[in-house]
Amino acid sequence: MVHAKARSNTRVILIYSAVAVLLLIMVTLYIGRGVTTTNAAYYLSRRLPKVTAMILAAGGTGIAALVFQTVTGNRLLTPSVMGIDALFVLLQTVVVALSGAEAVILTNPHLGFVVSVVLMVVFASTLLRVLFTRQQDGGGMTRVLLAGVVMGILFRSVSGFVQMVIDPNEFTVVQDNIFASVNNVSAPVIPLAAPIMAAAALIIIMHHRVLDAIALGRDQAVALGVNYSRKVGLLITAATVLVASATAMVGPLPFMGLVASNIVRHSMTSWRHRTMVFAVTITGVAILMGVELVRDFTGSVIPLGTAIKFMGGITFLALLLRGEQ
């Protein structure tokens, strides 16, 4: 028994080392393609921010999904299933419709980022607080999920209406913002987003033991001395900050976190958060990087967000069919 476990642990370490090496190769390929001594300065100034944004966005989304799943005790519940992507699209559309394409909030990247993140965090934490306070009975999670799905449909119908009435020139601004892409990441946002996201991720990493306890369920966690509602509130807020920053930076990446976290949970022999947080970061970044590389090499015009949505959806369908629950 011990022997078998030790062997499978080695296997897990091997797999993730391989993924990490693969990731390094992909990053090198992405940054280094076509670089010569003459153009290096320009190429690097364009590509390094993109890679940084990808690492931040994919890692943040993955960690956030992991935390959501642990806190809700459900592997299917992630921020994007809860409708946070649809909310982002709605916010972007409404801002452009109300203030016009030249508004300071859109032309000043810092302001736009801060406003998006604050609004998303406020909305998501309010919704979650309302829903989690009613969570005591068994049907609680079903309701949370349904409420999220319904909110998503509602946000989409409001966005659809606003997009119908706004000026086509302004719509192109909306379109650039609501389709995830690393090409229009504005470099000045990164120095602002990176410390915020790093702080949120650090809070989560420092609570890895608390997360392990919460994974056992509310009663067990309380019995183990966890101040349950306070810690859950803190962790959910940190996760929301992560996913909101990632979305505000590159755009919505539906299913990204869901797929990364489910792959990690499937491949791990133990669900200790200390290792899972790192594994989900590597996996998430590898997925995003892989898709972006394929787009780059094939010269595809399909937006990154659409490609992620399509492939993430299919992967998730496969996971559902295999009965991972």
Residues 115, 119: Cα–Cα separation, whole Å: 6
Number of C-beta neighbours around residue 179 at 10 A: 17
Q: Report the residue number, 61 or 281, with the smaller CB distance to other proteins.
A: 61
CB 276 within 8 A of CB 12: no
Kindly state the smallest distance separating residue 86's Cβ from other proteins, in Å: 11
Residues in region 64-123 near other proteins by CB under 8 A: 76, 81
Written as one letter, the residue type at 4 is: A
Q: Are 254 and 308 spatial neighbours (Cβ–Cβ below 8 Å)?
A: yes
CB of 39 to other proteins, least distance (A): 30
Q: Of 104-112, 142-150, 195-203, 287-295, which part binds other proteins (CB under 8 A)?
A: 142-150
Binding of residue 182 to other proteins (CB under 8 A): no
Positive/negative CA dihedral, 15, 21, 310, 123: positive
* 18 touches other proteins (CB under 8 A): no
CA–CA gap between residue 269 and residue 247 (Å, rounded):
31
Task: Provide, rounded to whole angstroms, the least separation between the CB of residue 314 and other proteins.
Answer: 6
Q: Minimal distance in Å, beta carbon 12 to other proteins? A: 24
Site for other proteins in 283-322 (CB under 8 A): 301-303, 306-307, 309-310, 313-314, 316-317, 320-321
Q: Is 175 in the site for other proteins (CB under 8 A)?
A: yes
SS3 303: coil
Considering the complex, what minimum distance in angstroms separates the CB of residue 312 from other proteins? 8
Which of the ranges 35-43, 139-147, 198-206, 262-270 carries the binding residues for other proteins, by CB under 8 A?
139-147
Which pair of tokens denotes residue 324?
């991972």
Q: Which helix (H) or strand (E) holds 265?
A: helix 256-267
* Tokens, residue 19: 């993924």
Q: Residue 13 or 130: which CB sits closer to other proteins?
A: 130
Task: Write the CA distances from 317 to 81, 139, 253, integer angstroms.
Answer: 14, 23, 17
Segment contacting other proteins by CB under 8 A, of 18-26, 31-39, 143-151, 280-288: 143-151
Angle ∠(216,274,7) on CA atoms, nearest 5? 90
- Binding residues vs other proteins (CB under 8 A): 76, 81, 134, 139, 142-143, 145-147, 149-154, 156-158, 160-161, 163-164, 168, 171, 175, 179, 254-255, 301-303, 306-307, 309-310, 313-314, 316-317, 320-321, 323-325
